[in-house]
Amino acid sequence: MDVKKAEFIKSAVKPKDFPPAELPEVAFVGRSNVGKSSLINVLANRKALVRTSSTPGRTQLINFFDINSILTLVDLPGYGYAKAPPDVRKQWGPMIETYLAKRENLKTVVLILDIRRIPSDGDLEMLRWLEMYNIPPIIVLTKCDKLSKLERARQTALIATAIKREKTMMLPFSALSRDGRDGIWQEIERLLGLDEPAGEQQV
């Protein structure tokens, strides 16, 4: 994907405040500190399209971003931060499930997992929700630059077993080197049916 325009649209909590459901949406979700903001920024080819919260687990808004006026990236709040206030943790589930259940133009959800960690209960619950609402997931393993090639292979196998998916479904990514960016965009384009002109160079 040659990203020529990446703009913030708005933040919202309730469906009545969401932008019009005119463009296909790709949502991003994962536990706090998993590298979600960095992933979206690299995909959008912008350094600070998505701001990183100084206090993980407190940002409880759904943020919408326009990409090339052909699709919308949706940043869902991070979950699983133990020090987040109890009322914040209680709000997360209903808000996200409502979005997943009712957003008719949502085409896929990028579930972000830290390659160094075994998936949490929150990660497994998210996969169950995606199955329940027939939303195809794109599973991205972040922070791959922090492990050796052997460690990456071992962790990928462990994560695949934990979430009962094939290892080939795990897309590796490093925000530091940007490795994996094109592969993630290719999967997004495949699921959205966005065919780029033949011979167009990906950036």
State pLDDT tens for residues 15-26.
Answer: 999 999 999 999
- Alpha-carbon distance of 184 to 171, in angstroms, equals 7
CATH code of the region 6-192: 3.40.50.300
Domain boundaries in the chain? 6-192
The CA distances from residue 110 to 83, 123, 165, in Å, are 25, 12, 15
The yes-or-no verdict on residue 81 having pLDDT over 90 is no
pTM to 2 decimal places: 0.89
The yes-or-no verdict on residue 66 having pLDDT over 80 is yes
